[in-house]
A and B are shown apart, each in its own frame.
Chain A
């Protein structure tokens, strides 16, 4: 396989092999075509790229550094552990990369209102942020369950001027927030852009969101070569929808010697059925506009996912991940709540960095693969978000009185 085999996906209709595509109501087809055209024009427009670059540097604070985690590495078989610090971006996660791009596109399409779904609240906060920056009306749909788990982020969105709508149907988590956002979009598509927050959904979202996040891997690759004179042996990232993972993977896809490792949320364990590991434990199906691996029963009904991490608690995954898994270019493993929380605590106590619980899944996976590979191996982890939003969940988990 050459680099081109993979970089050339998706095809013109948004297919990554048998995955992806567009499974949406006819009413949305025109809006998706419009978005597709605006995206393609923008990505070859020097004016757009300059505007985006300027915001990435002076608003987000890019490039994000790479931090070597020496004390943490002692628990990971002595492998070298490097952290790509997306947690240091403005708003505290990688999510800002995508919303800046989509925010500028919204303006170019002449739309004045943005809607978004959010699970952990990181994408909601990022969307509310860019809406404030660009003067757009903003409505964020969030499962009622998640508004409780992530109360801090709800307050942040409100302070930023967004309307947060708690979704009280279904499992009251990310999946239902997406359903509600799609219903809003169908009804208001003339004025409204749906700022989808991950590499899932109908084409062109998986490709577009990937391209706005690939700066994570592009920077990392350059930083690795200039500081370490070599590429990492493993690039690891957590995968819910999979945007931070695709963001860091893309630059390395052509480097056949670099292993790409995605860590899915294992919840109580795959064997219990209470998890969110769609690639490891799901089956091929269509959800939210794309074909991918999803969690479903024998009748094609979506099974509710489970994870301590609201941001990974999603019963589908971006179609490009499904494709990378199918062709064997990336490997996906499952990390339980317990393993993730142990890694969470370890990073806090060894490096002075409180990670997002989502990110802690990648840390747990890195410990495991570090032990497999031992000294001399270099593992680059996408530290996709900071954990301030999770302090309450973590305190409760570890029995700390607040």
Chain B
């Protein structure tokens, strides 16, 4: 059982969903990101997703695009991401990376899995890599003991959900809306049904993200999912209030996680 699965198990034993927070490495700066993540963890975040900033983030809305742009302009490199993983892992919290595929392929698929594991990272989310194209990635993550997280969408057929579930080892990431990242006032009613479908194919934890930003939404999702993923709202909180904003949001969201 990995550190990642421990975190889900602990949340479950406390009769709540796990809180998963996303922040791009290097935002607002390399040190600033680590400081903000530490504050989030103090505020109740269970699992951290470190974004690998990428020049062409087609899955991201304006909030994360801007953050990534600030990070890249500030000089974030692949090494920054690995270093951030190490510093976050040292906080004692499960550290994942969320990355578009090209930066990993450019780094070297096996080298990335190896260096990521050595830095203390536990899993990698790949939003534009589906299991069909993932043969090398599956081999590299298996041999380096790195968990894989693939996504399911509201548009996924049963057949595709089964395929994704089979290829996943960490948790299954269920997209709550059809669209890019960014806070929404509401998430789709269909998401509960999607989570139920996933459960028919997998025993792994299922976490819901995309568009989730408020304690009310977190509470709703916590009733049927194992994890609640929040990204853009943390970026906005940090933009406005730095680490204090990150901690306050984590505290507020934590109150919504109870079942």
Known contacts A25-B153, A186-B180, A285 near B160 by CB under 8 Å? no
Known contacts A296-B102, A299-B106, A22 near B133 by CB under 8 Å? yes
Q: Which residue of A lies closest to B175 (CB)?
A: A27
Looking at the complex, which of A175-183, A204-212, A266-274 is the stretch in contact with chain B?
A: A175-183
Q: Closest Cβ of chain B: how far from A402's Cβ, in Å?
A: 36
Residue contact B102 to A287, C-beta cutoff 8 Å: yes
Residue contact B106 to A285, C-beta cutoff 8 Å: yes
Most buried by B among A22, A23, A31, A289: A23
Residue B103 at the chain A interface, CB threshold 8 Å: yes
Residue contact B56 to A26, C-beta cutoff 8 Å: no
Chain A window 270-291, contacts with chain B (Cβ cutoff 8 Å), 1 for yes, 0 for no: 0000000000000001111100
Residue B193 at the chain A interface, CB threshold 8 Å: no
**Assembled-state Cα–Cα distance A169/B55 (Å):** 11
Known contacts A27-B175, A187-B178, A300 near B105 by CB under 8 Å? yes
Residue A298 at the chain B interface, CB threshold 8 Å: yes
Residue contact A301 to B130, C-beta cutoff 8 Å: no
Which residues in window 31-65 of B have CB below 8 A to A? 54-59, 61, 65
Chain A contact-residue range equals: 20 to 34
**Assembled-state Cα–Cα distance A175/B56 (Å):** 8
Q: Which residues on the A side are within 8 Å of B72 (C-beta)?
A: 301
Residue A71 at the chain B interface, CB threshold 8 Å: no
Residue B132 at the chain A interface, CB threshold 8 Å: yes
Main secondary structure of the interface of B (DSSP, over half): loop
Q: Which residues on the A side are within 8 Å of B155 (C-beta)?
A: 26-31, 189
- Chain B interface residue count, CB cutoff 8 Å, equals 40
Q: Which residue of A lies closest to B76 (CB)?
A: A299
Known contacts A26-B160, A27-B155, A296-B106, A183 near B180 by CB under 8 Å? yes
**Assembled-state Cα–Cα distance A189/B180 (Å):** 12
Q: Which residues on the A side are within 8 Å of B58 (C-beta)?
A: 25, 179, 182-183, 186, 288
Q: Which residues on the A side are within 8 Å of B129 (C-beta)?
A: 23
Most buried by B among A30, A286, A300: A300
Q: Which residue of A lies closest to B128 (CB)?
A: A23
**Assembled-state Cα–Cα distance A21/B135 (Å):** 13
Residue contact A27 to B154, C-beta cutoff 8 Å: yes
Residue B242 at the chain A interface, CB threshold 8 Å: no
Q: Which residues on the B side are within 8 Å of A182 (C-beta)?
A: 58
Most buried by A among B58, B128, B160, B164: B58
Known contacts A189-B178, A300-B102, A183 near B151 by CB under 8 Å? no
Residue A24 at the chain B interface, CB threshold 8 Å: yes
Residue contact B130 to A22, C-beta cutoff 8 Å: yes
Q: Closest Cβ of chain A: how far from B51's Cβ, in Å?
A: 14
Chain B window 4-37, contacts with chain A (Cβ cutoff 8 Å), 1 for yes, 0 for no: 0000000000000000000000000000000000
Residue B179 at the chain A interface, CB threshold 8 Å: yes
Residue B217 at the chain A interface, CB threshold 8 Å: no
Residue B127 at the chain A interface, CB threshold 8 Å: yes
Q: Which residues on the B side are within 8 Å of A31 (C-beta)?
A: 155
Contact of A286 among B59, B105, B157, B164 (CB under 8 A): B105
**Assembled-state Cα–Cα distance A299/B59 (Å):** 19
Residue A13 at the chain B interface, CB threshold 8 Å: yes
**Assembled-state Cα–Cα distance A192/B77 (Å):** 36
Q: Closest Cβ of chain B: how far from A65's Cβ, in Å?
A: 40
Residue B234 at the chain A interface, CB threshold 8 Å: no
Q: Closest Cβ of chain B: how far from A145's Cβ, in Å?
A: 16
Residue B238 at the chain A interface, CB threshold 8 Å: no
**Assembled-state Cα–Cα distance A29/B130 (Å):** 9
Residue B171 at the chain A interface, CB threshold 8 Å: no
Residue A374 at the chain B interface, CB threshold 8 Å: no
Residue positions of B touching A, CB distance < 8 A: 54-59, 61, 65, 69, 72, 77-78, 101-107, 127-130, 132-133, 150-157, 160, 164, 175, 177-180
Residue positions of A touching B, CB distance < 8 A: 13, 21-31, 169-170, 175, 179, 182-183, 186-187, 189-190, 285-289, 294, 296, 298-302
Instruction: List 6 contacting pairs A-B, 8 Å CB cutoff, sorted by A.
Output: A21-B132, A23-B129, A30-B156, A285-B105, A296-B102, A300-B54
Can you add 14 more A-B contacts, CB < 8 Å, to A27-B175, A189-B178? A13-B132, A25-B175, A27-B151, A27-B153, A29-B156, A183-B59, A285-B105, A286-B102, A294-B102, A298-B78, A299-B78, A299-B107, A301-B72, A302-B55
